């Protein structure tokens, strides 16, 4: 069953096949967990978001229609992203990105001192933290998840041009924040 396509697994899930559901969860949970974590800011919240999304899929597997638009992963990414955004809004708590480990002055492989890299990374994380949720989601889908503009737009329920405009605003906001902090763009 591990070699079955997502579409075949979903067909089995509609028949209440727990093994197919288990395979689908194992196959995709880490990817969606990382996405939820970058938006929610905590491991526990991200785990809850992804678990709730998969439970929603189990309860209503007919929500995704094969051959009717997006691939399963794009469709499910939209569910997870919306759940993460809703969660953050409900909690009235902007997403927090990972806390950097204490930095020493040892050099990294690229020759940059670890402390300098950590300061720049911390500045970037503060700038990301300051973004509106939809801009943060656009950055996440584009740069962390590596989705095409078309797929990222589908996840956010936008037209491609609207997504591209959102991404430009997000990059501009990041640049402005980093410039104010004196960081590198």
Report in angstroms the alpha-carbon separations of 153 from 41, 78, 106, 160, 161. 22, 9, 40, 5, 8
Contacts of 29 (CB under 8 A, 6+ apart): 50, 54
Q: Give tens-digit pLDDT for 159-172.
A: 999 999 999 999 99
Cβ contact 151:180 at 8 Å:
no
Q: Residue 80: name the closest of 61, 54, 105 by CA.
A: 54
SS3 136: helix
Q: Could you give the domains of the chain?
A: 1-96 (1.10.1740.10), 108-185 (1.10.10.10)
**Other residues' Cβ atoms within 10 Å of the Cβ of residue 62:** 9
User: Distance from CA of residue 96 to its chain's centroid?
Assistant: 13
Cβ contact 120:138 at 8 Å:
no
Q: Give tens-digit pLDDT for 91-134.
A: 643 333 333 333 344 444 544 455 555 677 777 888 887 889 89
What band does 80 get if pLDDT is binned at 50, 70 and 90? very high
If you average pLDDT over every residue of the chain, what do you get?
A: 81
DSSP 113: B
Q: How far apart are CA 20 and CA 100, in angstroms?
A: 38
Report the largest interatomic distance among the alpha carbons of the chain, rounded to a whole angstrom.
Answer: 57
pLDDT above 90: residue 9: yes
């Amino acid at each position: 069953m591990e070699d079955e396509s997502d579409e075949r697994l979903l067909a089995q899930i509609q028949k209440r096949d727990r093994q197919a559901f288990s395979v689908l969860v194992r196959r995709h949970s880490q990817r969606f967990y990382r996405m939820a974590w970058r938006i929610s800011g905590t491991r526990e919240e991200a785990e809850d978001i992804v678990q709730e999304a998969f439970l929603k899929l189990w309860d209503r597997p007919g929500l995704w229609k094969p051959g009717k638009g997006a691939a399963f992963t794009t469709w499910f990414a939209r569910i997870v992203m919306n759940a993460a955004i809703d969660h953050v809004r409900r909690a009235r708590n902007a997403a927090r990105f990972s806390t950097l480990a204490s930095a020493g002055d040892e050099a990294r492989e690229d020759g940059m001192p670890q402390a300098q890299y950590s300061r720049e990374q911390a500045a970037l994380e503060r700038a990301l933290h300051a973004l509106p949720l939809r801009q943060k989601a656009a950055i996440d889908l584009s740069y962390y998840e590596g989705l095409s503009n078309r797929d990222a737009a589908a996840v956010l329920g936008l037209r491609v041009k609207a997504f591209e405009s959102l991404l430009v605003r997000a990059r501009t906001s990041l640049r402005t924040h980093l410039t104010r902090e004196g960081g590198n763009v």
